[in-house]
Structure 1
């Protein structure tokens, strides 16, 4: 490599690293997703913007039953924003006056993904045609249900471009997926079993719909040796008798898989570099 080429290469690396740092250091702000007049339980969330001048792709993040939307933003919102995406981590439990959905889950939680989408597509910084929904555990089920062929997806005027679910419960889906979908789960998960997700994707569940042959493509990644909440440092062990365990290696692999998937579905080639 010629000397000038080396200088240009190093400069490009430094510029790229600086842009990532700026996006990562840009603080999240609490936003009211709906006005109190629009709903008796208006949602709120943590919003992170990008440093890009034009409309950017965006990712909505849905927390697990622990209601840890702040930690979801810190763990994943900050990371994804550094990749060049606007992020919105939604608080689904606080506005409903509950701190956990382990014992009870309000039925209307499944609509939160589209309530957040309606808010995001109105922002000048967001490209409404490139928004993904990402959820964890119970939030992962909400993310999948948002893009499943059914009433939520059919009745919304706004559509998602992709969906990602970390260790979701996979046994209750009746329809095929309408957009490219990624499911990430641990082989040793004893709370939301990987086998349920395999059965759902392959059409070996009670509904018999192969998500490989019908609808948009669904990619399932099962991580050997990983338990539930493999991406969450210092999880409460156990919860309701289930094993939770952080796994740094799997976290890194999942992060790379997520970045690649977002780049291929709602992102651009530049976001993969």
Structure 2
């Protein structure tokens, strides 16, 4: 395993490990088959959390980082978001592919998993298809951003996301031409997915220096937490950890602020309608 792959494994593990205290969800998770085994050689599975709302509810697709741990991601973030009144679907992208980590080079078709989950939710009777967001962590954040950036993949999907959120994603190859409101949360001291690359993306400058016009695309809100590192929301890394020169550390202040920022963003973009 390469050094980068080892970093991906540890970072992903801590990013979804541990359970923080949060309000009780309105319903327990339900293991679901996101698509028929006949529809794909690697049919997706996931955890679905429903609401007690009488009518169709807004929903959020959750995408894990490179080491999976989708069950723990559901416990940490799916449970919290569901308690706010949103249907949540936490996707297992690696299990169906027989993988434990996506490694340094994620499978090509993994980028389509957000759309596959979106298709499932858009057909669900308890979900409002016009109010579905995508939320990803690290590599899952990359998938989330790809799902809403102007381009062939977004245009080819008959179903559309209406908001996107990415925690510490790799921003390097994005120009920032998003089709829907987008929120990015990252630590200033992140040396795995640097915040500066996300600043360039928001400014419309990609890795090759190609720019877009400031008025192109939907608004992107970038929140950079001054003293936070990669995986700042992982409560089990209260003792700072070093792996191959990369620093990993939990930050309670950044975590608390990210919870508030996420809820405000969801409520403002796809939030419940009275």
Taking structure 1 as the reference length, what is the TM-score of the superposition?
A: 0.87
Partner residue, 1:267? 271
**Matched residue SS, 1:120:** helix
User: Which runs of structure 2 are paired with 1:204-223 in the superposition (5 Å)?
Assistant: 204-205=205-206, 206-210=208-212, 212-223=214-225
What per-residue deviation string (whole Å, max 9, x for no partner) do you get for residues 148-201 of structure 1?
001111000000000000000001124610000000000000000000000111
Is the contact made by 2:175 and 2:201 (CA closer than 8 Å) also made in structure 1?
Answer: no
Map Cα deviations across residues 181-228 of structure 1 (whole Å, 9 max, x no partner): 000000000000000000111123325334742110001000010000
Report the Cα offset of residue 63 of structure 1.
0.3
Q: Distance in 2 between matches of 1:244 and 1:210?
A: 33
| Aligned equivalents of 1:253, 1:209: Cα separation in 2 | 31
CA distance in structure 2 between the aligned counterparts of 1:134 and 1:44, rounded to whole angstroms: 17
Q: What CA RMSD, in Å, does the superposition of the two structures yield over aligned residues?
A: 1.8
1:258 corresponds to which of 247, 257, 262: 262
* 8 Å Cα contact 1:237/1:244 also seen in 2: yes
Secondary structure (helix, strand or coil) at the match of 2:111 reads helix
- Structure 2: runs of 5 or more not aligned: 1-21
Larger Rg, first or second structure (1 or 2): 1
Q: Which has the higher mean CA deviation after the structures are superposed, 172-181 or 233-242? A: 233-242
TM-superposed CA distance for 1:234, in Å, is 1.6
Could you tell which deviates more after superposition, 100-109 or 162-171?
100-109
* 2:118 maps to 1:117: yes
Residue in 1 that maps onto 2:140: 139
1:6-32 Cα deviation digits (max 9, x unpaired): xxxxxxxxxxxxxx96x6152101100
2:54 is equivalent to residue 53 of structure 1? yes
Distance 1:257 1:175 in 2: 20
Q: Secondary structure at the match of 2:224?
A: strand
Name the structure 1 match of 2:177. 176
**1:151-190 paired onto structure 2 within 5 Å:** 151-174=152-175, 176-190=177-191
Superimposed CA distance per residue, residues 55-74 of structure 1 (whole angstroms, 9 cap, x where no aligned partner): 00000000001111111111
Determine helix, strand or coil for the equivalent of 2:172.
coil
**Secondary structure in 2 matching 1:24:** coil
Partner of 2:249: 245
Q: Which moved more, 1:203-212 or 1:117-126?
A: 203-212
Q: What SS class does the counterpart of residue 189 from structure 1 fall into?
A: coil
- Residue-by-residue CA offset, 1:46-103 (whole Å, 9 max, x unaligned): 1000111100000000000111111111110000000000000000011111111123
Gaps of 5+ in 1: 1-19
Would the aligned equivalents of 1:176 and 1:209 in 2 still touch at CA under 8 Å? no
| Structure 2 equivalent of residue 226 of structure 1 | 228
1:201·1:212 contact (CA, 8 Å) conserved in 2?
no
Q: For 2:250, what is the secondary structure of its paired residue? A: coil
Paired with 2:29 and 2:192, the residues of 1 have a C-alpha distance of 31
Identify if the C-alpha distance between structure 1 residues 240 and 26 changes in structure 2 by more than 3 Å, giving closer, same or farther. Answer: farther
Q: TM-score, normalised by structure 2?
A: 0.87
